[in-house]
Amino acid sequence: MMINSTIAAAQAKIEWLGTHLEKKELLTGFCDMNIESETFAIEKMIEFYKTHEKDWAMDRDTKKYFDEMIRIADNGKIKDHIYEKYNRLINYEQGAARKDDYIQFKIDKNISEDTNQILYKIFYKLE
């Protein structure tokens, strides 16, 4: 599930970048700091998960990751999540002003302190 949903997210990001950026900007190779492309990719990743949720067996960490990401998306907090994920190094003008609100949201909605740690744990699990 994680590999396929990550591929869907990557393809969505490529699609967004190709549609919204000029060719010269794409050719620089450094066009990935746009929060809109990240938001689009996460939305497509969640969409893929919802479509294929029953198609593959899932680890409980994978289920937890997507449950949390869906709660984040359903509450309109994807940009805040991305801003935190990239340690405030992505273009998001409202990010600093919304930081405390996002922290409280994570507490209220039982979102892991660092959802990305779950993602990395899923990808690097050795058995």
Query: DSSP per residue over 15-57, as a string?
Result: HHHHHHS-HHHHHTS----BHHHHHHHHHHHHHHHHHHTTTS-
8 Å CB contact between 112 and 90: no
Q: How far is CA 78 from the centre of its chain?
A: 7
User: What pTM, to 2 d.p., does this model score?
Assistant: 0.85
pLDDT 10s digits, 2-23: 888 989 999 999 899 889 888 8
pLDDT 10s digits, 63-112: 999 999 999 999 999 999 999 988 888 889 999 999 999 999 999 999 98
Cα gap 101→97, rounded to integer Å: 8
Residue with the two structure tokens 């960490």: 61
